Amino acid sequence: MTDPESLLDDIASDIMVADIEDLPGLSRIYEKLEKMAAQSKDHGILPNALTACAELIKKIILNEVPDKNSSWKVINEALTVIQGIVRDGHPSEAAVFPAELGLAPVGSQSIGAVSETMPEEEPPENSIINLAGADASLTSDFINEAREHLASAEQNLMDLETGSDYDGAINAIFRSFHTIKGAAGFLDLKPILVVAHESETLLDLGRKGTVHIEGALADVAFDSIDVLRRLMDGAEEALAKGGEFNGAKIISSILKTLRQIIKDPSVIPVRAVRERVGDKLIDMGVVSQDKIDEALEKRKDPEERIGETLVKQGLVPAKTVAKALREQQQVRRDKSTGATVKEMVKIDTERLDRLVDTIGELVIAESMVGQDEELLGNASHKVARNISHLNKITRELQEMGMAMRLVPVRATFQKLARAVRDLTRKSGKAVELKMHGEDTEVDRSIVELIGDPLMHMIRNSVDHGIETTEERSKTGKPAIGTVNLRAYHKGGNIHFAIEDDGRGLDKAKITAKAVERGLIEPGREMTDQEIYTLIFLPGFSTAAKVTEVSGRGVGMDVVKRNVEAMRGSIEITSEAGQGSNFIMKLPLTLAIIDGMLVDIEDEKYIIPTLSVVESLSLTPDMISTVYGRGELINLRGELLPLVRINQLFGLYPNGATDKQESTVVVVEENTRKIGLVVDKLLGQRQTVIKSLGGTFARQKWISGGAILSNGNIGLIIDIGGVISLASEIDARGNDGDYNHASDPVANRSVREFTTAEATASEPEMAGV
Amino acid sequence: MNETGTAKQKTRVGSLEKAGKYLTFKLAGEEYGLEILKVREIIGVMDITHVPRTPVYIRGVINLRGKVIPVLDLRAKFGLEKAEQTDQTCIVVVEVRTGEGTLQMGILVDAVSEVLDIKGEQIEDAPAFGADVNTHFILGIGKVESGVKILLDIDAVLTEQEIPMLENLSEGK
Residue A13 has pLDDT above 80, yes or no: no
Give chain A positions within 8 Å (CB) of B173.
697
Cβ contact A75:A61 at 8 Å: no
CA A242, chain centre distance (Å): 30
Domain ranges in chain B? 2-171
Rounded-to-5 percentages of helix, strand, coil across chain B: 20, 45, 40
Decide which of A311 and A467 is more confident: A467
Q: Which residue in A569, A606, A652, A713 has the most chain B C-beta atoms within 10 A of its own C-beta, making it the best mutation to test that interface?
A: A713
Looking at mean pLDDT, say which of A105-114, A324-333, B138-147 comes out highest: B138-147
pLDDT band at A736 (very low <50, low <70, confident <90, very high): very low
Over residues A546-552, the mean pLDDT reads 43
Q: In this complex, do A693 and B62 lie within 8 Å of one another by their Cβ atoms?
A: no
B65 contacts on A by Cβ (under 8 Å): 357-358, 361
DSSP H/E element including A15: helix A4-17
Residue in B48, B53, B64 to test binding to A, most A beta-carbons within 10 Å: B53
Q: Which of A219-228, A260-269, A567-576 has the lowest mean pLDDT?
A: A260-269
Q: Which of A90-104, A137-151, A682-696 has the lowest mean pLDDT?
A: A90-104
**Proportion of chain A above pLDDT 90, given as a percent:** 2
- A64: pLDDT strictly greater than 80: no
Q: Give the pLDDT confidence of A389-439 residue by residue, as tens digits.
A: 998 998 888 778 777 777 888 888 888 888 888 778 777 788 888 888 888
Nearest CA in chain B to A652: B52
Do residues A535 and A505 make contact, with C-beta atoms less than 8 angstroms apart? yes
| DSSP classification of residue A690 | B
Confidence of residue A551 (pLDDT cuts 50, 70, 90): very low
pLDDT tens digits, A522-544: 777 778 877 887 877 776 655 54
pLDDT exceeds 60 at position A762? no
Averaged pLDDT of chain A: 73
Site from B48, B49, B98, B103 to mutate, A interface, most A CB atoms within 10 angstroms:
B49
pLDDT grade for A301, boundaries at 50, 70 and 90:
low
Query: Any chain B CB within 8 A of the CB of A355?
Result: no
What are the residues facing B73 on neighbouring strands?
A: B108
Inform me whether the pLDDT recorded for B10 exceeds 60: no
Residues of A numbered 718-737 whose beta carbons fall under 8 angstroms of chain B's beta carbons: which are they?
Answer: 725
Q: Among the listed ranges A74-83, A111-120, A283-292, A421-430, which one has the minimum average pLDDT value?
A: A111-120
Q: Which of A508-522, A611-625, B42-56 has the lowest mean pLDDT?
A: A508-522
Chain centroid to Cα A610, Å, comes to 26
pLDDT confidence band for A39 (50 / 70 / 90): confident
Looking at the complex, does the CB of residue A96 fall below 8 Å from at least one CB of chain B?
Answer: no
A653 reaches B (C-beta below 8 A)? no
Better pLDDT: A263 or B87? B87
- Of B52, B100, B172, Cβ closest to residue A567: B172
A690 touches chain B (CB under 8 A): yes
Pairing of the two strands A623-626 and A431-436: unpaired
Give how far the C-alpha of residue A756 lies from the chain's centroid of Cα atoms, to the nearest Å.
48
Who's near A369: CB < 8 A, 6+ residues apart?
Answer: A375, A387, A390
The model scores a pTM over 0.90: no
- Is residue A94 very low, low, confident or very high in pLDDT (cuts 50, 70, 90)? low
Over 70: is that where the pLDDT of A453 sits? Answer: yes
**Secondary structure class of A30 (helix, strand, coil):** helix
pLDDT for A289: 67
Q: Report yes or no: A714 at the B interface, CB cutoff 8 Å.
A: yes
CA distance A449 to A409: 11
Quote ipTM for the complex: 0.77
8 A C-beta contact, residue A548 and residue A568:
no
A649:B53 CB<8 A: yes
Taking 90 as the threshold, does the pLDDT of residue B41 lie above it?
A: yes
- Asked if the Cβ–Cβ distance from A690 to B70 is below 8 Å, we say no
Residue A322 has pLDDT above 60, yes or no: yes
CB contact under 8 A, A699 and B173: no
| Set of chain B residues whose Cβ sits within 8 Å of the Cβ of A705 | 49, 61, 63, 68
Nearest CB to A361: which of B51, B66, B170?
Answer: B66
A356 and B66: CB-CB below 8 Å?
Answer: yes
Summary count for chain B: helices (H), strands (E): 3, 11
Summarised one tens digit per residue, pLDDT across range A128-160 is: 777 766 677 778 888 888 888 888 888 888 777
Domain B2-171, CATH among 2.60.40.10, 3.90.1150.10, 3.30.1360.170, 2.40.50.180 = 2.40.50.180
From B63, B166, B168, residue closest to A707, measured CB to CB: B63
Mean pLDDT to the nearest integer, A170-199: 82
CA torsion angle A693 A695 A701 A706 (round to 10): -30
Q: Taking the CB of residue A234, how many other CB atoms lie within 10 A of it?
A: 22
Is residue B169 over pLDDT 50? no
Band (A323; pLDDT cuts 50, 70, 90) = low
Q: Which pLDDT score, from 0 to 100, does residue A476 have?
A: 82
pLDDT at A412: 85
Given this model, what pLDDT does residue A303 score? 59
Closest-CA distance, A363 to chain B, in angstroms, reads 11
| Contact call for B168 and A697, based on CB within 8 A | yes
Question: Is A707–B69 a contact, with Cβ atoms under 8 angstroms apart?
Answer: no
Which of A520 and B84 is assigned the larger pLDDT?
Answer: B84
Q: What is the pLDDT of residue A732?
A: 61
Condensed to tens digits (0 to 9), the pLDDT of residues B108-155 reads 999 999 999 988 888 888 777 766 666 778 888 888 888 899 998 888
pLDDT over threshold 80, residue A317: no
**Across B46-53, average pLDDT:** 88
pLDDT (tens digit per residue) in A246-260? 777 777 777 877 787
Residue B26 forms beta bridges with which residues? B31, B111
- Mark which residues 587-626 of A lie under 8 Å from B by CB: 603-604
Query: Which residues of chain A have a CB within 8 Å of the CB of B170?
Result: 694
pLDDT at A97 over 90: no
Query: pLDDT (tens digit, 9 = 90+) per residue, A375-385?
Result: 878 778 888 88
What pLDDT does residue A334 have?
A: 46
What is the per-residue burial (b if ≥16 Cβ within 10 Å, else e) of B110-139?
bebbeebebeeebbebbeeeeeeeebebbb
pLDDT band for position B61 (cuts 50, 70, 90):
very high
Kindly state the average pLDDT of the residues B156-171.
52
pLDDT at A274 over 90: no
Q: Please spell the DSSP secondary structure of A589-651, one letter per residue.
A: SS-EEEEEEEEETTEEEEEEGGGEEEEEEE-GGGEEEETTTEEEEEETTEEEEEEEHHHHTT-
Q: Report pLDDT digits (tens) over B75-97.
A: 988 888 888 888 899 999 998 87
Max mean pLDDT range (A98-102, A116-120, A459-463, A741-745) = A459-463
Partners of residue A580 on adjacent β-strands: A500, A574
DSSP state of A119: -
